[in-house]
């Protein structure tokens, strides 16, 4: 497998990203080529510091970086030679199979969408984030690629998330729900009410609306929403988990007895912490494009990058793009047949 | 103060709600009249069981109940004699100052909005939920009254939330943020981007956009969003907190050592649990109407109902409706002046 890594744009500099690449190369013999895209001098220095000597590594120079301050589309127009654009081009030219970037999320979405184009029949790509709960892992999508959605987009997210949950996470018949303000069919806003009607007609295990209460209660495996809601929910969960652990820690420190208790029970906390660790997946796939794209966390360290490379490889090897294309085509056909069969409004 | 309680529609039946009323009457001498609205026979039986003998209590019969399955507006039209409609009428007729209901949220919003009407200048009421974090309590609004919002609504929520935070929670200069997908001014969807421009122009301590990460990090005191996003976020937080505690408990039970540790550290958990307990407020105010309206949790037990009565009393005594009316009028005037001053598009 041939992977491109945009090594610029992560919060900790390119050496941390390349450190993750080094670990992945050491562990994964199926990697046949690995392109590192970024400023040549910085990348060269990092490679030297890390003692990375591997014939599979190719450095590709890009003189610019899309920063968090850049507006995605405007930034891409101004910074023609930025690392994310160059990285995507390598996949577009067929020289690599997949791309990983820890940079500006909007920039990765825009560059990938413009250059790789959506899969046939897919209207918009979606960021699919895997969120661990106690008894299952659910996929939330869209987590922020597309903040203004139409019902058709949500229906397609339901299919893409279903494919991802089945093919990558191993849920044989993933339960798909639309995130809404109540579980009853009539609850929701205009977008979710219309999307509900579409989802009912396609071949997924659609369980209807789900609420915030359901997410962590093993009621649903694929949670569908627009990119605004998904991004807000994802960050709220991350922020709340972090703050709960911080708060507990401070409460434990208040007396020696509590400290001792927390020390005795520490394995319980560590079990949960390990399970909710964002490094496990290292990033989120951008589903629905001609090419496998993974958006790594800006804060990704070595282990996260290594895991992102591994999961990106799985997505490629499991041919999820071909499966998504086939299932979306079938759903689109079914919906247009139904629309044609429906009596014309009199 | 004269309060109406819609005693039907709570998850635990009317006796639990009336039990909470009894506790409030025992503790609060400022309550001069308390109307219990519901099915006469059930209310009578509950009063008898509880040994509630208080001359301030008046029972008002309503033969129907709006259930969770009823669509709010349709249900209100069909069930003319439902308890929530009758309860609101008592406030409308000036016989009481405030109303509390643990029933169908959509029904409470619809009945109150239709019968009491919004305050002068206010376009839509909003449910303002107080969410406890480690270092502060923030108000999230709208938590579900209005799932399709316009920018003007969000601006008015910002003012109403600001007044509530200042007058009821005691934050002298509450920090107001719009919940969005990034803190930069340019991040958001069409609704939040437009609302951002309006909020910048009015007299609040507007700190711009906030993300999910900011909510529990003491960055913001008033979080503004549409009712769809707010409801999803609120329920996600509730669900996640519950699941974290349940998960911890299960991990603790796995070995005797962990159990012992958890027991020693139990005060740390209890401190947090007490603080995040939804009974503290017992309900959320529906702000922006001619009348003080509190939506209690459907699952509210006695303590929650008692607290809901206490907080409803505070909102009434602090005259927050008069303050909201004045501040919204000033903001509306300022925005229409600005609009008039702006050069006409050529």
Is 0.90 exceeded by the ipTM? yes
Helix (H, G, I), strand (E, B) or coil at B194: helix
Of the candidates B134, B144, B265, the beta carbon closest to that of A262 is on B265
* Closest chain A C-alpha to B1 CA, distance in angstroms: 34
The CATH number of domain A124-280 is 3.40.718.10: yes
Ramachandran angles phi, psi of A38, nearest 5° = 170, -170
Q: Which two tokens stand for residue A83?
A: 């690392």
Which residue in this structure is represented by tokens 């209005």? B146
Q: Which helix (H) or strand (E) holds B309?
A: helix B302-317
Counting every residue written for chain B, the total comes to: 346
The predicted-structure confidence for B41-97, as pLDDT tens digits, reads as follows 999 999 999 999 999 999 999 999 998 888 888 899 999 999 999 999 999 999 999
What is the Cα–Cα distance from B242 to B277, expressed in whole angstroms?
Answer: 10
Beta carbons of A262 and B265 less than 8 angstroms apart: yes
**pLDDT classification of B273: cutoffs 50, 70, 90:** confident
Give the pLDDT mean for B312-334.
92
Return the axis-axis angle of helices A320-341 and A151-164, rounded to nearest 10°. Answer: 140
Query: Which architecture characterizes domain A1-122+288-346 according to CATH?
Result: 3-Layer(aba) Sandwich (3.40)
B1-122+288-319 CATH, one of 3.40.50.670, 3.40.50.150, 3.40.718.10, 3.30.420.40: 3.40.718.10
Of the candidates B244, B254, B264, the beta carbon closest to that of A258 is on B264
Of the candidates A216, A229, A258, the beta carbon closest to that of B265 is on A258
Ramachandran angles phi, psi of B83, nearest 5° = -60, -40
Average per-residue pLDDT for chain B: 92
Percentage of chain A surpassing pLDDT 70?
Answer: 99
Has residue B344 got a pLDDT over 70? no
Q: How many other C-beta atoms can be found within 10 angstroms of the C-beta atom of residue A213? A: 18
What is the Cα–Cα distance from A279 to A321, expressed in whole angstroms?
Answer: 24
Chain B residues with CB inside 8 Å of A134's CB? 243, 246-247, 250
Give the pLDDT mean for A253-258.
92
Nearest CA in chain B to A148: B189
Cα(first)–Cα(last) distance of chain B, in Å? Answer: 56
Nearest CA in chain A to B269: A248
Q: How many other C-beta atoms can be found within 10 angstroms of the C-beta atom of residue A278? A: 19
DSSP string across B273-304: HHHH-TTTT-EEEEESBSSEEEEE-TT--HHH
CA atoms within 13 A of residue A345's CA, in its CB half-sphere = 0
pLDDT at A146: 94
Q: Which of B178, B181, B217, B262 to mutate against chain A (most A CBs within 10 Å)?
A: B181
What is the Cα–Cα distance from A280 to A294, expressed in whole angstroms?
Answer: 14
The predicted-structure confidence for A279-333, as pLDDT tens digits, reads as follows 777 789 999 999 999 999 888 899 999 999 998 988 888 899 999 999 999 999 9
The predicted-structure confidence for A229-243, as pLDDT tens digits, reads as follows 999 999 999 999 888
With residues binned 3-state (H G I as helix, E B as strand, rest as coil), the percentages for chain A, rounded to 5, are 50, 15, 30
Has residue A212 got a pLDDT over 60? yes
DSSP classification of residue B30: T
Which residues of chain A are in CATH 3.40.718.10 domains? 1-122+288-346, 124-280
Give Cα A342 to chain centroid, integer Å.
37
Beta carbons of A274 and A241 less than 8 angstroms apart: no
What is the Cα–Cα distance from B229 to B25, expressed in whole angstroms?
Answer: 37
Burial B287-321 (b: 16+ CB within 10 A, else e): bbbbbbbbbbbeebbbebbbbbbbbbbebbeeebb
Which residue in this structure is represented by tokens 């459907």? B298
């Amino acid at each position: 497998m041939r992977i491109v890594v945009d090594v610029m744009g992560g919060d900790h500099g390119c050496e941390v990203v390349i450190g993750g690449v080094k670990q992945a190369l050491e562990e994964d013999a199926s990697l046949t080529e690995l392109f590192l895209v970024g400023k040549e001098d910085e990348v060269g220095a990092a490679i030297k510091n890390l003692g990375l000597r591997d014939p599979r590594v190719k450095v590709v120079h890009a003189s610019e970086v899309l920063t968090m301050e850049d507006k995605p589309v405007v930034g891409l127009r101004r910074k023609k030679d930025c690392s994310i654009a160059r990285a995507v081009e390598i996949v577009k030219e067929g020289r690599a199979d997949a791309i990983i970037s820890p940079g500006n999320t909007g920039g990765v979405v825009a560059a990938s969408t413009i250059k790789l184009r959506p899969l046939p029949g897919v209207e918009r790509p979606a960021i699919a984030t895997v969120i661990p709960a106690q008894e299952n892992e659910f996929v939330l999508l869209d987590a922020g690629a597309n903040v203004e959605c139409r019902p058709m987009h949500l229906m397609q997210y339901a299919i893409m998330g279903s494919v991802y949950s089945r093919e990558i996470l191993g849920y044989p018949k993933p339960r798909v729900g639309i995130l809404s303000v109540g579980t009853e069919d009539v609850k929701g806003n205009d977008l979710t009410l219309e999307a509900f009607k579409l989802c009912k007609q396609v071949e997924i295990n659609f369980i209807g609306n789900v609420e915030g209460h359901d997410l962590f209660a093993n009621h649903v495996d694929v949670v569908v929403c627009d990119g605004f809601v998904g991004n807000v929910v994802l960050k709220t969960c991350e922020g709340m988990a972090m703050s709960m652990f911080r708060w507990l820690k401070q409460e434990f420190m208040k007396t020696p007895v509590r400290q001792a208790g927390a020390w005795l029970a520490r394995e319980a906390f560590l079990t949960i912490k390990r399970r909710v660790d964002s490094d496990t997946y290292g990033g989120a796939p951008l589903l629905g494009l001609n090419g496998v794209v993974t958006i790594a966390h800006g804060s990704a360290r070595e282990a996260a990058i290594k895991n992102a490379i591994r999961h990106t490889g799985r997505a490629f090897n499991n041919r999820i793009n071909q499966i998504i294309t086939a299932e979306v085509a079938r759903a689109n056909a079914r919906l247009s047949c139904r629309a044609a069969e429906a009596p014309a409004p009199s």
